[in-house]
Amino acid sequence: MQVYNTMTRKKEELVPLTPGVIRMYVCGPTVYNFFHIGNARPFVVFDTLRRYLEYKGYKVVLAQNFTDIDDKLINRANAEGTTVPEIAERYIKEYYRDADALSIERATVNPRATEHVDEIIALVETLIGRGHAYAADNGDVYFSVRSYPEYGKLSGQSIDDLESGARIDPTEHKRDPLDFAVWKGAKPGEPSWESPWGKGRPGWHIECSAMSMNILGETFDIHAGGQDLVFPHHENEIAQSEAATGKPFARYWMHNGYININNEKMSKSLGNFLLVRDIAKEFDLEAVRLFLLGAQYRNPVNFSRELIEQADTALSRIRTARERLDDAMKKPAEAPDPEDAAFLASVPEFRARWEEAMDDDLNTADALGVLFDFTRSLNSFVSEPRGIEALEAADAFMKDVCRVMGLLQHRREEEFPLEALALLAQRGAARAARDWARADAIREELKALGFAVEDGKDGAKLKRL
């Protein structure tokens, strides 16, 4: 599989450090609020990557962190008159709720910064010991950017250009404006941990370095996140980690593009964000997932309600095909059908095309095109009873694609309320009596209850609206 590596700015063959195993780290949420659709993109995209790698037979160790201590949590806790751990606990729970609805599989580990303070302190001590960090007189510890000559290699920035643009904050105790905090001395009332530099808490960048290296090793395969993390977050992670270990940190850096609203980046600071939680009130979040996978992950995508509606309609197209296949499998042809052979032969071709798209830097947009092509072919095929072998081949492919792309993973209620079933039966009777007016009236009643009726060869079927 080819993967675009931000470090080299080109697509490269993904070759894991340990054959058959992929170790990857995805920057997770700072848990001080529900997450918005922009935050959802990396979670969905890299979940899809993880699933695809597993489909290809890799064992994937995926770590996605929760940043559960930082200024935003502290502010939120103060504003609500509660504690930082309470805020973190709440929004971690809410994260899982939304992530589940988006069919995001649980990571292998979800490390929390506060559970890795010892490792963070050890890492800071190593950096100081090697002359890459220094303790300031206020209890802060800073990383010395100029002590790491390769600084800027990920973002393509030169230290001198950065220097000229760096903001100087007189309240900080840096030796150089480029330096950044790896440990923050505690201010009164803030949560803090004992350290060699007094009470304090981890800096943001260092926690990802400490957690990723502790869980995945000093050198691991993939480090991923949003494009806005390239600088400074990931640049700083590289500097800290490689300065501390003298070894390469992550080998492939993958970054997703933004979600825009009206061609402007969606962000919490701009206030133009839409919470996934709010979209869930109106739509099955798998429609959001389909929307996100409808574009190649590195390209920016515009968000609008209309686009989610489009995705929702498209999703139902896949769902209908899935249901038609299920029905076909319940009553296959007695003997193989003459058309089975051609269809059976086409399935591996669809699969090959789908894999080719996924192998090309996770081109999910292209891969979805293959799914829809297959959907059309399948819909035609199952319009007549077919041999079970061909149907099972279609089923296996459909399941693989849907599992990897995280679509149709929600259990839908099979059971319909008795009231609706009774109406359906009454309508059937009316139709048998050619009482069309009554049949249509009942259809309207069912619609009001949230069900559509579809008449087919084998009688009428109910569908949830």
Partner RNA sequence: GGCACCAUAGCCAAGCGGUAAGGCAGAGGUCUGCAAAACCUUCAUCCCCGGUUCGAUUCCGGGUGGUGCCUCCA
Q: What part of residues 56-85 is at the interface with RNA (CB under 7 A)? A: 72
Q: Which is nearer to RNA, 228 or 400 (CB)?
A: 228
How many other C-beta atoms are found inside a 10 Å radius of the C-beta of residue 451?
Answer: 21
By the rule CB under 7 A, 359 interacts with RNA: no
Closest contact distance (angstroms) between CB of 35 and RNA is 8
By the rule CB under 7 A, 149 interacts with RNA: no
Pattern 266-295, RNA, x by CB under 7 A: xxxx------------------------xx
| One residue of 5, 14, 25, 38 binding RNA per CB under 7 A | 38
Ranges within 296-315 binding RNA (CB under 7 A): 296, 299-302, 306-307, 309-311, 313-314
| One residue of 80, 89, 115, 161 binding RNA per CB under 7 A | 161
By the rule CB under 7 A, 158 interacts with RNA: yes
SS (H, E, C) the chain: CEEEECCCCEEEECCCCECCEEEEEECCCECCCCCEHHHHHHHHHHHHHHHHHHHCCCEEEEEECEECCCHHHHHHHHHHCCCHHHHHHHHHHHHHHHHHHCCCCCCCECCEHHHHHHHHHHHHHHHHHCCCEEECCCCCEEECHHHCCCCCCCCCCCHHHHHHHCCCCCCCCCCCCCCEEEEEECCCCCCCECCECECEEECHHHHHHHHHHHHHCCCEEEEEEEHHHHHHHHHHHHHHHHHHHCCCCEEEEEEECCEEECCEECCCCCCCCCEHHHHCCCCCHHHHHHHHHCCCCCCCEECCHHHHHHHHHHHHHHHHHHHHHHHHHHCCCCCCCCCHHHHHHHHHHHHHHHHHHHHECCCHHHHHHHHHHHHHHHHHHCCCCCCHHHHHHHHHHHHHHHHHHCCCCCCCCCCCCHHHHHHHHHHHHHHHCCCHHHHHHHHHHHHHHCEEEEEECCEEEEEEC
Ranges within 318-337 binding RNA (CB under 7 A): 320-321, 324
Q: Which is nearer to RNA, 18 or 383 (CB)?
A: 383
By the rule CB under 7 A, 365 interacts with RNA: yes
Write out the two tokens for 13: 């063959």
| One residue of 209, 256, 328, 332 binding RNA per CB under 7 A | 256
| One residue of 176, 228, 359, 445 binding RNA per CB under 7 A | 228
| One residue of 90, 126, 193, 231 binding RNA per CB under 7 A | 231
Q: Which is nearer to RNA, 82 or 380 (CB)?
A: 380
- If binding means CB under 7 A, how many residues of this protein chain bind RNA? 83
| One residue of 9, 11, 93, 410 binding RNA per CB under 7 A | 9
By the rule CB under 7 A, 423 interacts with RNA: no
By the rule CB under 7 A, 366 interacts with RNA: yes
Ranges within 375-414 binding RNA (CB under 7 A): 375-376, 379-380, 383
By the rule CB under 7 A, 172 interacts with RNA: no
| One residue of 232, 332, 387, 406 binding RNA per CB under 7 A | 232
**Stretch of residues binding RNA (CB under 7 A), selected from 93-101, 245-253, 331-339, 357-365:** 357-365
By the rule CB under 7 A, 246 interacts with RNA: no
By the rule CB under 7 A, 31 interacts with RNA: no
Q: Which is nearer to RNA, 281 or 434 (CB)?
A: 434
Q: Which is nearer to RNA, 20 or 205 (CB)?
A: 205
By the rule CB under 7 A, 373 interacts with RNA: yes
